[in-house]
């Protein structure tokens, strides 16, 4: 239902949600709704219900129902987004993807893995480590951030200097569209020259275009050797010039962090140095 200003009116059929997700995977207690009303930003708004799918079919059924009833659906991973992307400012149904957290395949010869969206970044890297591989985009929030949330945000991390951001690591995905249709985008190969690169369009779409229910990701070998250097500069401009010189030297560092005096003082204060 939509009222005159185009904002949905609070109306959700709880029995329909319980029919789709089962009794235990539908939350409507005010305490649950409150907890799901914010992410890592300062914003807060209450959803009307929280649901936890175990599989793609449930996501499809939800989208069919919500589309017909004109109810907003907000997909949510770890809730570590810092800009309020999962805060339900118009209410609606919070789709908590954390139960869909299986690593479906690790294919070493073809260098890809298939995962469900609720897989936590660190858990994927734990699974890849025994194979001598890692998934590089990894934001600093990797202990809680999920692959679905990272895809929706095009997350990147300190190693993105060398390895790129999430968009560079995503080969393909399965997405439930707003009308409940399931589409397969991209491929399992690093190079796919034919057709539109629609999976790349999904990366960074912040949950606005569809619900990612499976992702195919590229991974890379863990480097055999690692080393770190620290250089001190008297002026920010000299540090900037050094970064340019390093990047054009032929050496490709995986990380380049510029820490200014304000940040160093803050760290020293915290560590009591």
Interacting residues toward ligand FAD by CB under 6 A: 39-40, 74-82, 85-86, 97, 117, 139-141, 145-146, 148-150, 152-153, 155-157, 206-207, 211-212
Task: Give me the least distance between CB of 12 and ligand FAD, in Å please.
Answer: 18
For ligand FAD, give the closer residue by CB, 155 or 249. 155
Parallel/antiparallel/unpaired status of strands 93-96 and 49-51: parallel
Tokens of 97: 């993807």
Report the nearest approach of ligand FAD to the CB of residue 165 (Å): 8
Considering the complex, what minimum distance in angstroms separates the CB of residue 137 from ligand FAD? 8
Cβ closest to ligand FAD, residue 58 vs residue 80? 80
Least distance (Å) from ligand FAD to the CB of residue 147? 8
To ligand FAD, the closest distance from the beta carbon of 123 in angstroms equals 12
Residue 78 or 92: which CB sits closer to ligand FAD?
A: 78
Nearer to ligand FAD, 172 or 234 (CB): 172
Hey, what are 159's tokens?
């190693």
Q: By beta-carbon distance, which residue lies closest to ligand FAD?
A: 149
Cα gap 211→97, rounded to integer Å: 10
Task: Please say whether the beta carbons of 101 and 120 come within 8 A.
Answer: yes
Cα–Cα distance for residue pair 103/116, rounded to 1 Å: 6
- For ligand FAD, the closer CB: 40 or 189: 40
- Identify which of residues 100 and 133 has a Cβ nearer to ligand FAD in the complex: 100
Min CB(125)–ligand FAD separation in Å:
14
User: How far is C-alpha 163 from the chain's CA centre?
Assistant: 17
């Amino acid at each position: 239902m939509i009222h005159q200003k185009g904002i949905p009116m609070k109306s959700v059929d709880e029995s329909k949600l319980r029919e789709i997700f089962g009794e235990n995977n539908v939350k409507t207690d005010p305490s649950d709704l409150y907890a799901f009303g914010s992410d890592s930003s300062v914003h807060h708004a209450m959803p009307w219900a929280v649901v936890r799918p175990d599989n793609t079919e449930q996501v499809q059924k939800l989208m069919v129902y919500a589309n017909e009833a004109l109810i907003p659906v907000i997909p949510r991973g770890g809730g570590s987004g810092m800009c309020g992307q999962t805060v339900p400012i118009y209410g609606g149904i919070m789709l908590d993807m954390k139960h869909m957290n299986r690593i479906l395949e690790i294919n070493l010869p073809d260098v890809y893995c298939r995962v469900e969206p609720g897989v936590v970044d660190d858990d994927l890297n734990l699974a890849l480590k025994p194979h001598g591989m890692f998934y590089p985009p990894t934001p600093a929030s990797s202990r809680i951030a999920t692959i679905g949330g990272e895809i929706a945000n095009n997350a990147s991390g300190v190693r993105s200097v060398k390895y790129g951001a999430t968009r560079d690591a995503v080969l393909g995905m399965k997405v439930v569209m707003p009308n409940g249709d399931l589409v397969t985008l991209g491929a399992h190969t690093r190079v796919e020259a034919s057709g539109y690169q629609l999976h790349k369009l999904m990366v960074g779409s912040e949950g606005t275009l569809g619900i990612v229910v499976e992702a195919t990701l590229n991974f890379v070998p863990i480097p055999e050797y690692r080393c770190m250097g620290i250089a001190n500069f008297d002026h920010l401009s000299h540090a900037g010039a050094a970064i340019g010189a390093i990047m054009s030297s032929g050496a490709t560092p995986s990380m380049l962090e510029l820490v200014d005096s304000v940040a160093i003082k803050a760290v020293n204060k915290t560590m009591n140095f």
